[in-house]
Structures are given as structure tokens and as C-alpha cells.
Structure 1
Amino acid sequence: MKDTYAVLGASILQEPLIEAAKSLQKKTIVFDKNPKAVGAKKADTFFAISISDIESIFQALRPYQERLISVVTLGTDQTFTMSTLNQKLGLSSYPPEVAEVLSHKGKMRKFFKGILLQPDFLHVSKTDENLEIVQSWAKKHPSQMGYVVKPCKNMGARGVLYIPNENFFEMAMEYAFRFSDEIIIEHYIEAEEISVDALVHEGEVCLTGVADRVIEKYHNLFFIERGHILPAQSSLQEKTNLSYEMMQKIVKAIQEKFGIRYTGALKGDFRFLTKEKKLVLGEVAGRLSGGFMSTHTFYYATGYSLPKAYLQLSAGKKPDIFNKTMEYKKISAEFSVAGGFGKIKELTYPRKLGTIQNIFTMKQKGDFVYDLKSNVGKILHVVYAADSLKEIEVAKQKFEQEIHIHLNQSPFDKQEIRKQAKKNFNPAACWVCRECDGMNCASSVPGMGGAGNMETFANNLRAIRKYFVKPRYVENQSTDEIQSIHTQISILGRTYQAPILSAPITGAKTNMGSSTTELEYALNTAIALKANGLLPTFGDGASPFKYLTGLKVIESIQDGIPFFKPRSHLEEVQKRIIAAEAAGAIAWGMDIDGLGFKTMQLKKQATRRYHVKELHRLKQTSNLPMVLKGILSVEDALLAAEAGADIIIVSNHGGRVMDRLPATADVLPIIVEAFKKENITIPIFVDGGIRSGQDVFIMLALGASAVLIGRPIVIAEVAYHEIGVSSYVQRICEELKQSMFLAGCSDLASIQKKHILMKA
């Protein structure tokens, strides 16, 4: 007796499918790697197996083979798994070859080329990853609106990026390849987006729903679906007719190519060209939609259960929905709630409002949330239904006003960060030692270590460790006890909460062993520092377009300083300065020590020493202040001041230029004294070997106005992304305050050399 459906997935989206099977008096065998998934308890039989593990699922189903009606799924991209299992079990389904076309974005694009209107595209495999090929394609197929780079196998927009022009291909490809070994690059088309569901019985199409998608281009990079509205609120009849035609063409193309009359579900995401009255193919999949459309909003809008009809179709029956004229009785919509990052300390929201039908809590107290880069990781999904969109909008506004989400943005301690970073970091790049001191590095340069024998790297820490914070516990003057510690600092006219900056770092692939990507590192670091009131900086790697990643993030957060290499052609630096000003940078900087970088030599990027007049000329390129980094001598410091530098940074680039260079803590006080002697008031920043708030205090006591921190922030980002970075910098800020309190300093101006001691 055939009385059982095998369901792939047990999440909130598959739960209605399990319930629909029960309403048909059928049993379910459910698979999901998460035994705590909501559908696990509702299954008649549950297996904690990944839904992509075809062989394990097949072996689990063999004893039930005689009772199986079909293997089904909803809202997942496991149609290839579903089709393959049905074939192996002798059950009716479209073949795996069709499933590949309907689940692999590259094969989908190629299959429907010339059949459906779609963007120009290029399919790229990781094995033949070649930036020159992609750049050549873009020259032949230029886009006026930019490009979309997306993994071929993904769901929830993971790994998908919008980029404005071909100069961002390197950044976008590196990011997308984190999610799939194959990607497609296609022209971006600015248009209304709709989502469409359909059921197909032996080639006959029944269009079930056409919804408007609410898409946000978050950070002007990521496509985040904030929700959908069913039915579509503008041009509904046109969108419906065009969607029906599109689905018919899809079914016809499958029939002509594979010789089958398609039976199953189809989901399409299309772009509606308002003026041309045409649909452009976004993607099509052999399943019903996720995002609560097929499972919830369709039911509230029509009163009809689409999961139930899908199960009947999977059993070889033609559902009665094919014989009905679809009528929308209500307007239904789903909107998500997301934002911020950290560990949830408190989450409260109103439980009942008239138009709200469902509230799905995706995160609980104690869970971690990250700044969104895809449709995965949202906190709540709320489903509404009403007679008008206005009613839904009013209810949505009221609901969101009453939500309270309290996040701890710095939940991890030092040991937790180190432990997780050790798991995540490519060991060929970094071993995440207990003490990041250059004594036992996994790599040199390229890598996370220092140049040569890493003497300069190690000496940076030794130089700081020569000093101690001098505490004061007894007061001999009639002054008030320190009531509060103030670490605020003004940098180039903006106020920041502490004199702590991230160091400009690139080379996610070359130096960090692909433990993160350029975009993730720059964005996560910036988000964390911005949230803590600190100033982020961004690097310019050896690759010609790497600096654009930092500028893209600056454009989003409207803060930060990009640093550029001293490239041989002055015009190349000027181009970067102009772009930095346009992006919203508060200043621009130059690594003047970049002429000795090994990575620049490996990439055949020519650098040179700049004359003071050329530096002055560069400053005249824009209205931005100029920051010169890599100062290790009084002579260079004085010339930097003469060139018009607004800030200088004492730095040996973390010991990554050459062995036997002086430690920054040794050079800093000498340059400070030289500036005092010449009455030069330019702020002096410093980096190199700073690992704690006590180290920050010592550098300030030696005369620095602020410090930059590099490797520890990299380790924190690789460990827990922006939450890791936030945890680290907040700890450093607290340690600085503690040092100031014990030394008797109430603000940064009161920190002096008398507050530290040198080791005898």
C-alpha cells in the first residue's frame, strides 16, 4: 500500500508539507541533519541525515520502498537529490538531468539561452578562474547598470554580490567562490522583481501565485529580500499573463530537449520591465518557492493549500486547483525582521495584532546574529493578511515599533576567540599562537608572519614589554577622586570613543590563506569598529584593483581612511585619492614603506620613493587630509611635516618589510621629542606589537596620539567575523580605561611618560 511521503527537510518551510500529508491521511518519513528542527517531531519517522546525502537517504528509505508515494521537498534547492532518489527508488519524477537545469544557475542560464529573455552572462569554474577572461568578456559585453556575481549552487542569495563595474570582479569572484566551485557573472537589470509559483501536470501549467518581491541592495552590495506581497500590487494582470507565458516556454523547452511532459512544481523569479512589458528570467527552480509564499501567504490570500496540491501532483493526480480560476480573497504579505550583530540578550515583541497571521522566530535568546549578507540569518518572519495593503503597512509599522532586540555585541573573551580562530584559520598561514609575537609563525611574507627571520616583528613586542604601567594608589593633593574615565579623541574633526584604529590590511588569499575574503574582512572589521565608535582603515594590496574593496565599504559606512601604496606612476595614486574623496573617506593615507614590500614585487607592481614635493602635490589632489604611514626616522618625520601631512604613523608594517628595522616603541619617543623641538603639532600615531589596552596606554605615554592594531583584529575576524572584532576592540578599550584609572589619568591628555616605568 502506497501511503508514505519522504520529505527532504524539517524546517519551518517543510512543516506545512508534513501537515498537508497528514491531512491526506498519509505518513511521512522526514530527513534533516538537525534533529531539533520543528518538523522532526511531526514526522512519523525521522532520520537525522543531511538532505544532500543521497546515498544515506536511499539506504534509509529502502525498507520503506513498497510504501513510498514520492520523495518531495519544498523551499529547498535539493531538487536534484529529490529527483535522483525518486529514480533510484523507482518512483515517478522528472529525471535528474532536468533537476540539474532547474537547480544549477549556470546550467539554467545555458539551457534557456535563446529561449527566454535573460541577461548576458558568463559561466566561470574555479578550476579555470581567470580574471583576464572575465575582463575580456566584460569588454565585449559591457553593462551600463553593473553586474551580479552569484554562485551556481546556492540558496537564499548566499554569495551573491552586486558590483557597479568590472573593476570589482576580483573582489566579487573571490567572495562568490567561497560558496560554490562555479559562478555566473551577469548583467544587472534594474527592474521590479516578482516571484511566481506554478504546478505542472503532464505539461499543463497552472499558475498559482504572482507576488511582488521587496528587495534591498544592502551596503549597495548584497541582495536582501525583506519580504513579498501577494498578489502583486501593480500591473497584476500583465505580470500574470507574462508569467504564464514564461512558464509555458520553460515546460515546452524541457519537453523538446528531454522528451518528457513535465510534471512537478516550478518557481520563478523574474524582473518586470515596465516600459517594454516584458519579463526577464532571474532564475527558475523545480520546486515551490520558499520565503513563506507557497506555504503561508498563498493560503491566506486564496484559502487554498498549495503544499497539499503539490503532494497530490507528486502522487500522479491532477489537483482540482487546475480546474479553478484563481481568485485572491485577501492581500497577504511576509516581512522579515533583521539588523545588527551580536548575541541576543533579550527578544520581545507583541504576540497578537489583528492582521498578523504568523510570527516565526528564527533566533532565540542566546543565539548569535550577524550583519546580513544574504537572506539567511534573519531574526523574525511575520506573515500578514488583510483586505488592503494599507492595513498591512500600518500593522507592520506598529509591530516593528514594539519589537525590542537587545544584542551583546562583544560576547567573546580572548580564549574563545583564539580557540575558534585556530579552527578557522588556514594553518599554512597562521597557527594562532597563544602569544602573537613573531617567535613561531606558520608563515612569513606572503603570510601572516614577518619578513626574514621576523626579528623586526618580534622586536616590536619586546620594545613595548620594556615598559610597565606605573599605578598610583595614594594621593597627596586635595583633588577629587576620579569619577569617570574619558577616552574620546578627535581625529580630523570627528570624535571617536577611543584612540584605537584598525590597521590597513589586505591579502585575504595571499596572506591569510583564504581564511576570509577581502570583502568580508574589510566589511566585518568596519562594521565592528563603527559600532564601537572607532575609526577603521583600509589597505591597498598588490593587485591593482584591491583598494576598491575598502572604498566600497567606506561608501557604505561613510567613514574610514584608505591607505595606498607608493606606486611608480603618480597618476595612479591621484586616481585613488579622487576615488577616496568621492566614496566619503575622511582622509587618505600612503604606506611610504611600501616600496620594499615583497608582495608588490611578486605581483610585478612597481613602487618608488617619493620626493617631498610630490607628496605635497598629491595632497593638492583633493580636499582630504593626508596621512603618511611607515615613518621610522626623525628625518622622514620632518619631511612628512614639510610635505603637509596631517597625521604621521610610526610603523615598520608589523615587521613585514625587512629584518633589523627599529621597533616602533623605540622610535616613537625620539620622533615625539623632535617634533616638540621644532614646534610641530601634527598628531603622531603608531602601530606594531600592540596586543592589549596596557600596550595602548604605554604607546600613548610615549607620545602617540592614537594606535593602530593589525594581526589581533585579523584573528578576531577569522574567528567570529564582526562579533569577534567587536569583542576584541571592546576588551582593549576596557583595558585602556583600567590602565588609566590605576595610573590616575582621567582623560587621554593627562597620560604622560611619567605614568610608565622602563624595565631596569
Structure 2
Amino acid sequence: MPDGDTPGGTLWDLADAERAAAAVLPAAVRDFVAGGSGRERSRDGNQRAFDRLHVVPRVLRDVSGCSARSTLLGRPVRMPVAVAPVAYQRLLHPEGERATARAARAAGVPFTVATLSSVPVEEVTAVGGTVWFQLYWLRERRRTLDLVRRAEDAGCAALMVTVDVPWMGRRLRDARNGFALPAGVRAAHLGGGASSAHRPSAGSAVAAHTAETFSPAVTWSDLEALRAATRLPLLVKGVLAPEDAARAAGLGADAVVVSNHGGRQLDGAVPAVDALPGVAEAVGASGTPCEVLVDGGVRGGADVLAALALGASGVLVGRPPAWGLAAAGEAGVRRVLDLLADEVRDALGLAGCARVAQARELRTVRVP
């Protein structure tokens, strides 16, 4: 198959990847990835918020050597982008997280392996490249710390703790579909074979499984203990309030990820990019070195440029690589990330920025 082609046609932008994935995925799996919680106001609001953002470009600047290269958590990246954690990727392709990690390595960006990965972290880090581990706080503290040690031993470069999921939001698409994991897909880090996530029921079996597994009692003292328990760089994901971001920075977080979980938790939560300026300001005022990333609704290079202009060090992308994986496996993810790299460089240059750092000097305008 020629580069960029999938069974659904040639991918020219990230939206094409979603359309190509829709052509091959079962409807319930497509809904599992695409859906948000409740009326999906926050899911849809993330993209609408980016659509309202316009950047004021600068002119008469030498951009002949324009480059999107940057750093995240002190490591060089081809563009200021990381692949966000997405659960159960073997639902989308037999190779699952292995294929996505290989594509991220080839693209020169970090890949985040999820607690609910369908491939063990050791197999993901064996691929090479920069791998971050996303952590949910489990009901059994010992099991949570065991996951931290496991990520460290596997060679992960950072730990990303997700703090906005005391339980899974009411994802109505999954509930209406009675969504359950097929027999060949499991949470590789949680042990055993079949679980409640595999048992068809009235509602979402995956939601029932996470309610049994995740702790709703996590507090700032747990985050402080986690910071003390690992020497890995620590990202705190799921922050929207500036006060929470400043407190996380004060407790030693190396980065906060401004996120409403792709619109999959509190329906009606503020779009992540709308919360970004306040978080960036609060973290900057804290006087503590801490990067600010954002996810949710990033669908192209212009969105990355806008996020940089609003104070982000970089962005995470989740659904677009997942759609690429479904459409054409590793090649599909590589195509998505290569497209995004081209778009980021294009946006930088056309805005008069030869380097990523210059994008943070741009002004933005919000339109109704």
C-alpha cells in the first residue's frame, strides 16, 4: 500500500484518519474511542474552542530554516507533541500499543503507555524511543506502587498520573452499546485473564471494571507520596483549575497536563485550551520549574501553534493516532504523526516563527 494510503483512502489531514477508521471498525469500538460523557458538551467543546482561536502572525522574519524541533521534559522531540494514553489499543489493531509506540519512535515523539494498555509496558519499551507511563491510582496502594516500580524497571522516561478519574464518567454510547472487551483484549497491567470488563451487562462493562479498580479517595497527600516514591519526571494530567496547577507544581510536578480527559469525564467541564492561559499563568507565578502541556481537541498543526501561543510547552494527541492505528496499523499512525509534523512546521513558518520558542510570543484572538 503506498505511503499515506489506507483501505479508506489517502490521508491528507488528521480528519481523514478518523473517516478511514470508521470504514473498518465495528460501531461499538468506534464509539468507545470517539465518545464522550453525558451529552458530550465537553468533547465537542474542545474542538470548538480551538476553532474559535485565531493566531496573529508576524511577517518579514527569516523562516528559511524553520524547524518544529523542541524539548519535552528535557528530551529532544521532533515537534512539541506526545502521544497521549489511550486504553486497550488491541481493540483497534492486533499489534495494539506496540505498533503505536514504533510509530511514535519513528516520528521522534514520546509515546504514553496506559495503565489500561492491552500490551505490557515491557513490550512497549522494548520497541525503543521515549516511553512515558500513565498511572491510575488503584484501590490497593501496594498495587499502585508496584506499577510505579514496574514502569521504572521497564525503562520508562516519565510517569504521568491521571487525577480526574475517581470513577469513569457516564459514557452513554458505551452504555447503550452494552460495551464489553472481547476475549482477546485485556488490561495487561492488572493481571489475570477475563474480568468484569469482559462480562456483557446492562451498561458499560468497562465502566464497571474501572469502578471496581480505581480509587475515588485520592488526595493531594497521595500525590505528594507519589512524588517522593519515584525519581522519574512526574506529569499530573487532568488539571483545569489554576489553583490545582500551582499546587501540583509546588509539590514537585515536572509538568501539568491541562485536560478534561477528551470530554470523557465531567460533561460540561471547561474546554482544555480555554483553561490553558490561566493554568500557564498560575504555574509561571508559582516560581517552580514546571512545564504545561494540553490535550483535548488537537486536530492539526494550527491547533498546536495556538496552544504554544497560549503558554503550552507542547500538546498531547490521543484520538488521531488511534484512528491511524485502526485504519492502517503502524503505517497509519506514522502517517498521522508525519502529517502533524508537517502541519506544525507549516503553521510555525507561516506565522513568522523559525523556532518553537517564538510561537510563545504570538498573540491570539478569540472569535464568537
Q: The TM-score by the shorter chain falls in which range?
A: 0.7 to 0.9
> Which one-letter code corresponds to 2:23 in the other structure?
K
Whether the 8 Å CA contact 1:461–1:688 is kept in 2: the answer is: yes
Structure 2 vs 1, CA of residues 551 and 741 (structure 1 numbering), >3 Å: closer, same or farther? same
Which structure is higher in strand share? 1
Please tell me whether residue 502 in structure 1 is matched to residue 83 in structure 2: yes
Please tell me whether residue 539 in structure 1 is matched to residue 114 in structure 2: yes
Measure how far apart 1:717 and its partner are.
0.8
Secondary structure of the residue aligned to 1:561 is strand
Which structure is higher in helix share? 2
Structure 2 vs 1, CA of residues 635 and 423 (structure 1 numbering), >3 Å: closer, same or farther? same
Residue 26 of structure 2: aligned partner: 426
Structure 1: gaps of 5 or more residues: 1-341, 345-365, 369-410, 431-442
Secondary structure of the residue aligned to 2:365 is strand
> Which one-letter code corresponds to 1:413 in the other structure?
W
In 2, the alpha carbon distance for the partners of 1:656 and 1:499 equals 24
- Given candidates 589, 593, 605, the residue that maps to 2:213 is 605
Structure 2: gaps of 5 or more residues: 170-205
> Which one-letter code corresponds to 2:257 in the other structure?
I
Secondary structure of the residue aligned to 2:76 is strand
> Which one-letter code corresponds to 2:162 in the other structure?
D
In 2, the alpha carbon distance for the partners of 1:472 and 1:482 equals 11
Whether the 8 Å CA contact 2:89–2:97 is kept in 1: the answer is: no
Secondary structure of the residue aligned to 1:429 is helix
Whether the 8 Å CA contact 1:532–1:730 is kept in 2: the answer is: yes
Whether the 8 Å CA contact 1:654–1:688 is kept in 2: the answer is: yes
State which structure, 1 or 2, has the greater radius of gyration over its C-alpha atoms. 1
> Which one-letter code corresponds to 1:526 in the other structure?
A
In 2, the alpha carbon distance for the partners of 1:667 and 1:688 equals 11
Whether the 8 Å CA contact 1:592–1:609 is kept in 2: the answer is: no
Measure how far apart 1:636 and its partner are.
1.5
> Which one-letter code corresponds to 1:707 in the other structure?
V
Secondary structure of the residue aligned to 2:236 is strand
In 2, the alpha carbon distance for the partners of 1:669 and 1:419 equals 32
Structure 2 vs 1, CA of residues 465 and 609 (structure 1 numbering), >3 Å: closer, same or farther? farther
Please tell me whether residue 565 in structure 1 is matched to residue 136 in structure 2: yes
Please tell me whether residue 593 in structure 1 is matched to residue 167 in structure 2: no
Residue 454 of structure 1: aligned partner: 40
Q: How does 1:183-332 map to 2 (within 5 A)?
A: none
Structure 2 vs 1, CA of residues 601 and 638 (structure 1 numbering), >3 Å: closer, same or farther? farther
Structure 2 vs 1, CA of residues 459 and 551 (structure 1 numbering), >3 Å: closer, same or farther? farther
Measure how far apart 1:634 and its partner are.
1.5
- Given candidates 713, 733, 738, the residue that maps to 2:346 is 738
Whether the 8 Å CA contact 2:104–2:129 is kept in 1: the answer is: no
Residues 214-241 of structure 1, C-alpha deviations (whole Å, 9 max, x = no match): xxxxxxxxxxxxxxxxxxxxxxxxxxxx
Whether the 8 Å CA contact 1:492–1:586 is kept in 2: the answer is: no
Residue 258 of structure 2: aligned partner: 650
Residues 625-678 of structure 1, C-alpha deviations (whole Å, 9 max, x = no match): 111101111122122112211111011110111211111011110111112222
- Given candidates 48, 57, 77, the residue that maps to 1:471 is 57
Measure how far apart 1:447 and its partner are.
4.9
Residues 127-149 of structure 1, C-alpha deviations (whole Å, 9 max, x = no match): xxxxxxxxxxxxxxxxxxxxxxx
Residue 527 of structure 1: aligned partner: 102
Measure how far apart 1:686 and its partner are.
0.5
Residues 310-357 of structure 1, C-alpha deviations (whole Å, 9 max, x = no match): xxxxxxxxxxxxxxxxxxxxxxxxxxxxxxxx858xxxxxxxxxxxxx
- Given candidates 613, 620, 644, the residue that maps to 2:228 is 620
Residues 333-386 of structure 1, C-alpha deviations (whole Å, 9 max, x = no match): xxxxxxxxx858xxxxxxxxxxxxxxxxxxxxx999xxxxxxxxxxxxxxxxxx
Q: Among all aligned residue pairs of Structure 1 and Structure 2, give the percentage whose two residues are the same amino acid.
A: 28
Residue 676 of structure 1: aligned partner: 284
Measure how far apart 1:507 and its partner are.
2.9
Measure how far apart 1:624 and its partner are.
1.1
Number of equivalences: 327
Measure how far apart 1:537 and its partner are.
0.8
- Given candidates 136, 146, 151, the residue that maps to 1:580 is 151
In 1, the alpha carbon distance for the partners of 2:33 and 2:66 equals 38
Measure how far apart 1:597 and its partner are.
1.4
Whether the 8 Å CA contact 2:306–2:364 is kept in 1: the answer is: yes
Whether the 8 Å CA contact 2:92–2:322 is kept in 1: the answer is: no
Structure 2 vs 1, CA of residues 727 and 596 (structure 1 numbering), >3 Å: closer, same or farther? same
In 1, the alpha carbon distance for the partners of 2:23 and 2:359 equals 39
Residue 173 of structure 2: aligned partner: none
Whether the 8 Å CA contact 1:547–1:564 is kept in 2: the answer is: no
Measure how far apart 1:455 and its partner are.
0.6
- Given candidates 113, 118, 124, the residue that maps to 1:553 is 124
Residues 250-270 of structure 1, C-alpha deviations (whole Å, 9 max, x = no match): xxxxxxxxxxxxxxxxxxxxx
In 1, the alpha carbon distance for the partners of 2:118 and 2:218 equals 20
Tell me which stretches of 4 or more aligned residues in structure 1 moved more than 4 Å.
none
What TM-score comes out, normalization by structure 1 length? 0.41
Measure how far apart 1:508 and its partner are.
4.1
